[in-house]
Amino acid sequence: MSVQIGAISATLSSFLSQHDYSHIAVIVDEKTQKHCLPLIQSLLPKTFTKIVIKSGEEQKTLATCEKIWQAMTQANMDRHGLIINLGGGVIGDMGGFCASTYKRGIDFIQIPTTLLAQVDASVGGKLGIDFHGLKNHIGVFQLPKTVLIDPTFIQTLPDRQKRSGFAEIIKHCLIRDAAKWDTIASLDFDQVDLADLIAHSVEIKKAVVAEDPKEKGLRKILNFGHTLGHAVETYLLGLGKRAVLHGEAIAVGMITEAYLAYQRNLIEAEELEAIEAMLFATYGRIQIKAEEIPAIIQLTAQDKKNKGSEIRFSLLTGIGDCGYDIPVSKAEMKKALEYYIG
Ligand code: GLY
């Protein structure tokens, strides 16, 4: 899996000079069109096609895919073309899905422009769209030709967006690197070295995905915090006004799932306390009402790690270690969400 971290002017021109594509299309949203496309436009052939979609998770649908496939068809793209996904997780996942299915699949590269996409979504070849309110319900595994990460892209992101991406960095430390966890847990968010942490997260993710590309086993540890986290995210997205960012929901997921691990004697009380202290300090406590818990738990039934009616979690087995395929009952989930509510 090719991932390069560095100035986009150098990495993209080097990539393009080594390949001979019949046509290039760049997928952007209104934000990356304004802030990021100008940084790469001079490196592209003058004939490139710009495909603009609206930003936001609610655009990650089959209807938007149709527009992208239509634009690719109108540009007469053949199988020797290249799609460049210039954006966050939505563009990367959906643009990659469109490229992988167009004429049975053409090359694509990821240029992630958010912290979340740089440390997680762009690496590992998970592609897809949401479907009838269910996140990433339809999709494929397909690796991009390369991922080009320029840490300077994130300098202008709003603080809230950066904190959201930081949740995946925290996750990578908790599941694989106790020493790095100790470092970040002792710092405030505005003191951490994000460029260093991006490289660290990419290394962890690459190593896990290399061992288990299609998530048959080990890769499930990357879903720590995501079973209840996704359910909270999906539930609040459905309410509209109380929608939270992905990383904010994953913070809820990491606290509740650390509590589940503690209840199973997989981690010590001090470890749970350290995890929740750090996450509450960084993300606050997201409002979840007691009467909403059943609906949130109901959503875990659609989690992609489940087998039959068994809801299976990836739970910490210590800070820096994580197990997977651990069945958890609805009663345990309820207790964990009640613990979070306080
Ligand atoms: N975001 C988790 C994974 O890519 O497996």
Q: What are phi and psi of 23, to 5 degrees?
A: -160, 150
In the residue annotation, 172 being an active-site residue is answered as: no
Q: Is 96 helix (H, G, I), strand (E, B) or coil?
A: helix
The one catalytic residue in 60, 163, 223, 233 is 223
Identified catalytic residue from 135, 171, 220, 230:
230
Residue 193 has pLDDT above 90, yes or no: yes
- Mutational test site, ligand 1, from 222, 246, 303, max ligand atoms within 8 Å of CB: 222
pLDDT tens digits for range 247-263? 999 999 999 999 999 99
**Percentage of the chain exceeding pLDDT 70:** 100
Other C-beta atoms lying within 10 Å of the C-beta of residue 56: 11
Distance 315 CA to ligand 1 centre (A): 15
pLDDT band at 334 (very low <50, low <70, confident <90, very high): very high
- pLDDT class for 291, splitting at 50, 70, 90? very high
What is the Å distance from ligand 1's center to 332 Cα? 24
In the chain, list all ranges with CATH 1.20.1090.10. Answer: 158-341
Whether the pLDDT of residue 241 is over 90: the answer is no
Secondary structure (H, E, C), 167-186: HHHHHHHHHHCHHHHHHHHC
pLDDT (0 to 100) of residue 1: 85
pLDDT (mean) for 117-127: 97
Residue 270 has pLDDT above 90, yes or no: yes
Buried b (16+ CB within 10 A) or exposed e, 26-40: bbbbeebbeebbebb
Model-wide pTM > 0.85: yes
Nearest CA to ligand 1 atom 2: 222
Known catalytic membership, residue 85:
no
Alpha helices in 102-153 (DSSP H): 115-116
The structure tokens listed for 65 are 């895919």
Q: What's the distance, Cα to Cα, between the start and end of the chain in Å?
A: 43
User: Pick the catalytic residue: 23, 126, 163, 305?
Assistant: 126
Task: Report CA(219)–ligand 1 centroid distance (Å).
Answer: 7
Q: What is the mean pLDDT of residues 74-81?
A: 98
pLDDT tens profile 173-184? 999 999 999 999
| Angle at 67 (CA atoms; ends 299, 146), nearest 5 degrees | 80
Give the pLDDT of residue 113.
98
The band of 57, judged by pLDDT with boundaries at 50, 70 and 90, is confident
Please tell me whether residue 149 adopts helix, strand or coil conformation: strand
**Predicted local confidence at residue 151, as pLDDT:** 95
Using alpha carbons, select from 128, 22, 25, 28 the residue that is nearest to residue 72. 25
In degrees, rounded to 5, the angle at the alpha carbon of residue 331 between the alpha carbons of residues 327 and 336 is 85
Query: Which protein residues are within 6 Å of ligand 1, measured from CB?
Result: 120, 124, 126, 219, 222-223
Q: What angle do CA 206, 207, 210 make, to 5 degrees?
A: 80
246 is catalytic: yes
What distance in angstroms lies between residue 190's CA and the mean position of ligand 1's atoms? 26
CATH architecture entry for 3-155: 3-Layer(aba) Sandwich (3.40)
Render pLDDT for 15-43 as a digit per residue (tens, 0 to 9).
999 999 999 999 999 999 999 999 999 99
Q: Is 132 a catalytic residue?
A: no
Give the CATH H-level superfamily of domain 158-341.
Answer: Dehydroquinate synthase-like - alpha domain (1.20.1090.10)
pLDDT at position 154: 93
Average pLDDT over all residues of the chain:
96
Torsion angle in degrees (nearest 10) through CA of 220, 137, 56, 161: -10
Please, are residues 71 and 97 in contact by the beta-carbon 8 Å criterion?
Answer: no
Q: Which pair of tokens denotes residue 76?
A: 């007469």
Task: Note every long-range contact of 76-80, with CB atoms under 8 Å and residues 24 or more positions apart, other chains counting.
Answer: 76/23, 77/22, 77/23, 77/25, 77/49, 77/102, 77/103, 77/106, 78/22, 78/23, 78/103, 79/103, 79/104, 79/105, 79/106, 80/20, 80/21, 80/22, 80/23, 80/106
Residue span(s) of the chain under CATH 3.40.50.1970 come to 3-155
What is the distance between the alpha carbons of residues 219 and 295, in angstroms, rounded to a whole number?
Answer: 27
Q: Check residue 145 and report its DSSP letter.
A: S
Q: Over 90: is that where the pLDDT of 212 sits?
A: yes
